[in-house]
């Protein structure tokens, strides 16, 4: 396991990365008093590091970690305290230029490299009445902060961002991993984000590779972070107050699957047509009758005849 290493602010090619952490902190501080903005050159997983901090503060190394829509214990995460924020529950934006053990949904690895990817996690206490649809709300916030007109970023239920190449066609741009951990009388929410920024080798990727440079030739990982940090915080606070209903229309405008034949995997696989999401963010699939699927139960892939 890699312990977090303070960033020298350089890419793998040696070109300096200027993150503007203080500028981002000045944007976030009025929204999240007490927030810290930290950049490290390398760590295993920014989500894991922030979960570990929350557990250390609570004195519960093995406190269960859950994801909205599912509950599972990820087991013992060895401690590797980082800097002055080794164990607290204040809001934190933790950025890694390179994640060596980034985690995606359903235990998948997230691959990236310094400068070519943006990987970060935001931890904050959150207490919505209903956690349903949170990953979709985060996707809407990221897409709206990064996109151009007409929209090129689509959202693939439940937690992926794609660049659209046509109706129902595209390539994966990024992903979202949301986990929560109980700390005393409240719950910390850790929102992990991975975005492809620059071109990288993409052999063997099931759904292709897309990057932000396709939308903005001058983009960089620090520039993308500056674009999404404050909108993400505002979206999480709005979700806490209003739930997914405040984001449903925004998701529907970018819904990659709507109206297309899909195949789901899970305890009861379905072959049908996606009919958008309901007011709680559950996927609706018409397969004879209408089925509603909540995040965490299934993975969804476009059927071959839709590509």
- Separation between Cα atoms, residue 68 and residue 25, nearest integer Å: 27
pLDDT at site 307: 46
- Separation between Cα atoms, residue 285 and residue 274, nearest integer Å: 4
- Is the omega angle on the peptide bond into residue 12 within 30 degrees of 0, that is, cis? no
pLDDT at site 253: 95
pLDDT at site 68: 53
Residue from 275, 280, 271 nearest 298 by CA: 271
Burial 63-94 (b: 16+ CB within 10 A, else e): eebbbbbeeeebeebeeeebeebeebbebbbb
The list of the chain residues with pLDDT below 70 reads: 1-16, 58-88, 101-113, 202-204, 295-297, 302-307
pLDDT at site 171: 93
- Separation between Cα atoms, residue 81 and residue 56, nearest integer Å: 9
CB atoms within 10 A of CB 175: 22
- The residues, any chain, with a CB within 8 Å of residue 73's CB and separated by 6 or more, are 62, 64, 65
pLDDT at site 1: 39
pLDDT at site 9: 37
**What pairing do the DSSP bridges indicate for beta strands 92-99 and 36-43?**
parallel
- Separation between Cα atoms, residue 102 and residue 31, nearest integer Å: 27
Query: Are the beta carbons of 130 and 201 closer than 8 angstroms?
Result: no
Residue from 32, 274, 44 nearest 157 by CA: 274
pLDDT at site 12: 36
Q: What is the pTM of this model?
A: 0.85
pLDDT at site 132: 96
Bridge partners of 183, per DSSP, are 186
pLDDT at site 206: 73
């Amino acid at each position: 396991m890699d312990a977090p290493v303070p960033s020298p602010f350089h890419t793998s090619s040696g070109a300096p990365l200027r993150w503007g952490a203080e500028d981002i902190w000045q944007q976030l501080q009025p929204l999240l008093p007490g927030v810290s903005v930290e950049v490290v050159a390398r760590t295993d997983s920014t989500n894991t590091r922030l979960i570990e901090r929350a557990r250390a503060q609570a004195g519960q190394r093995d406190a269960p970690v859950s994801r909205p829509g599912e509950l599972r214990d990820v087991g013992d995460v060895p401690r590797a305290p980082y800097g002055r924020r080794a164990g607290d529950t204040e809001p934190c934006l933790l950025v890694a230029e390179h994640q060596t053990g980034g985690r995606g949904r359903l235990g998948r690895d997230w691959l990236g490299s310094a400068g070519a990817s943006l990987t970060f996690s935001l931890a904050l206490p959150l207490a919505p009445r209903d956690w349903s649809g949170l990953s979709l709300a985060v996707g809407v916030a990221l897409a709206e902060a990064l996109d151009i007109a007409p929209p090129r970023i689509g959202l693939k239920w439940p937690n992926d961002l794609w660049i659209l190449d046509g109706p129902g066609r595209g390539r994966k741009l990024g992903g979202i991993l949301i986990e929560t951990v109980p700390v005393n009388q409240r719950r910390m929410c850790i929102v992990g984000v991975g975005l492809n920024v620059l071109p990288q080798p993409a052999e063997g990727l099931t759904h292709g590779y897309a990057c932000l440079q396709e939308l903005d030739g001058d983009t960089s990982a620090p520039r993308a972070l500056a674009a999404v940090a404050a909108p993400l915080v505002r979206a999480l606070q709005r979700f806490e107050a209003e739930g997914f209903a405040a984001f449903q229309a925004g998701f529907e405008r970018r819904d990659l699957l709507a109206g297309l034949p899909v195949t789901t995997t899970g305890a009861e696989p379905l072959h049908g047509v996606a009919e958008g999401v309901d007011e709680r963010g559950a996927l609706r699939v018409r397969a004879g009758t209408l089925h509603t699927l909540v995040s965490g139960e299934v993975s969804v892939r476009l059927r071959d005849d839709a590509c």
